[in-house]
């Protein structure tokens, strides 16, 4: 049985923040902190905080801009966290709302009615609650059939969920599976940390995974998928339901994203490159067979090195398109945003790679071929 990607959808928040705006807010916080703690800093009790800069952000990541769900709260020096009011249980949740926006676009592009959906998977780096599952809320609001469940593999949430969807179709549990990655990443971003304050943006994507016998023309055959995990603390977020049991540590910075960026770079680049090359060998694919790589959008330098190792030469923007410069790191959504925005020029028979990597460590590769 051939399983395909029938269509994708993308929700982009209307608000956005430039590096200059982010730096101005962060540096105002740094100046105030250093002034308030001047005596302890002078005595060596506390280290002075270092300011950020546009140049530092762009050199470290390649990010120039990010779309966000709420701008004013993030830039408010007295707050520095998105201003997102809690919604009552009877109202559609914010993450369901953005999920549905992306899902409706994907379904419209495939000509699919919600009643034809057999399963919904919501997969992202941070879920809004333990239960009921976000996917079931989305399923209900759409009027979809079958079943739904949530999953989390951080930055690899999309590729792992697509593999789950492929398995559902191949096992005969459904012919049309809606995979949604709602990534409201700024909610777990520490805007007071110089090393990470610039990383994330917000977005939601949807991927319709289906049996080829019901798929519309121009879909994408999934040639093969490969998943890999390797435990590491170098990207970590300790937020969880047991935090309330130890008030002393409940509001510490480790309840937001923390990372050792240099270690991540050094360890993830070879891990991902080797996985892709091994997967290509298993599928009897050569670098020249690939028209494009849609890589996880976290760091332009990482992507450049991975693409070079896979292709055997420095990749052009056409061969490995970048969206992180305008979207920031959108965790599991990033590679799908790249695929969604940079795949319309493919002709029947053209092949490409969707690849994710990040916290866990986790990595996923999905080779696709444009169908007739």
- In the DSSP assignment, the letter for residue 50 is P
Q: What is the pLDDT of residues 78-117, one digit of tens each?
A: 999 999 999 999 999 999 999 999 999 999 999 999 999 9
Q: What is the pLDDT of residues 352-370, one digit of tens each?
A: 999 999 999 999 999 999 9
Q: What is the pLDDT of residues 10-41, one digit of tens each?
A: 999 999 999 999 999 999 999 999 999 999 99
| Residue 198 CB coordination number (10 Å) | 27
- Catalytically annotated residue among 155, 185, 245, 355: 155
Task: Check whether 250 has a pLDDT greater than 80.
Answer: no
Q: What is the pLDDT of residues 301-353, one digit of tens each?
A: 999 999 999 999 999 999 999 999 999 999 999 999 999 999 999 999 999 99
369 three-state secondary structure: strand
CA distance 364 to 272: 8
CA distance 256 to 189: 6
**Measured on CA atoms in the order 323, 324, 326, 331, is the torsion positive or negative?**
positive
Domains of the chain, by residue range, sit at 220-370
Task: Check whether 253 has a pLDDT greater than 90.
Answer: no
pLDDT of amino acid 1:
80
Q: What is the pLDDT of residues 117-133, one digit of tens each?
A: 999 999 999 999 999 99
Mean pLDDT of the chain: 95
**155 noted as active-site residue:** yes
CA distance 287 to 25: 44
Q: What is the pTM of this model?
A: 0.95
Q: What is the pLDDT of residues 157-184, one digit of tens each?
A: 999 999 999 999 999 999 999 999 999 9
| CATH number, span 220-370 | 3.40.47.10
Which stretches of 174-289 are assigned E, i.e. beta strand?
A: 176-184, 202-211, 220-229, 235-236, 258-259
Helix axes 300-311, 261-282, angle to 10 degrees: 30
């Amino acid at each position: 049985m051939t399983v395909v990607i029938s269509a994708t959808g993308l929700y982009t928040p209307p608000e956005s923040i430039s590096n200059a705006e982010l730096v101005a807010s962060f540096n105002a916080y740094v100046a105030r902190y250093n002034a308030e703690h001047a005596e302890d800093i002078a005595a060596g009790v506390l280290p002075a905080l270092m300011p950020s800069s546009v140049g530092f952000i762009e050199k470290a990541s390649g990010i120039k801009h990010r779309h966000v769900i709420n701008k004013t709260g993030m830039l408010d020096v007295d707050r520095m966290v998105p201003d997102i009011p809690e919604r009552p249980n009877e109202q559609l949740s914010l993450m369901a709302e953005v999920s549905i926006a992306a899902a409706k676009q994907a379904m419209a592009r495939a000509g699919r009615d919600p009643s034809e959906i057999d399963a919904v998977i919501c997969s992202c780096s941070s879920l809004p609650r333990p239960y009921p599952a976000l996917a079931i809320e989305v399923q209900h609001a759409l009027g979809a059939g079958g079943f739904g469940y949530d999953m989390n593999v951080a930055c690899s949430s999309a590729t792992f969920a697509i593999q789950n969807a492929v398995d559902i179709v191949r096992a005969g549990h459904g012919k049309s599976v809606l995979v949604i990655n709602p990534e409201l990443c700024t909610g777990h971003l520490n805007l007071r940390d110089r090393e990470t304050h610039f990383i994330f943006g917000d977005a939601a994507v949807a991927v319709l995974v289906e049996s080829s016998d019901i798929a519309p023309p121009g879909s994408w055959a999934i040639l093969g998928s490969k998943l890999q995990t390797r435990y590491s603390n170098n990207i970590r977020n300790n937020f969880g339901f047991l935090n309330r049991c130890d008030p002393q540590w409940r509001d510490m910075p480790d309840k937001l994203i923390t990372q050792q960026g240099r270690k991540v770079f050094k360890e993830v680049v070879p891990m991902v490159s080797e996985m892709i090359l091994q997967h290509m060998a298993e599928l009897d694919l050569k670098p020249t067979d690939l028209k494009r790589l849609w890589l996880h959008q976290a760091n332009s330098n990482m992507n450049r090195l991975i693409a070079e190792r896979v292709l055997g030469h420095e990749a052009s923007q056409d061969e490995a398109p970048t969206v992180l410069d305008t979207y920031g790191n959108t965790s599991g959504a990033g590679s799908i945003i790249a695929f969604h925005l940079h795949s319309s020029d493919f002709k029947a028979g053209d092949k490409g790679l969707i690849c994710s990597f990040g916290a866990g460590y986790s990595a996923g590769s999905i080779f696709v071929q444009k169908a007739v």
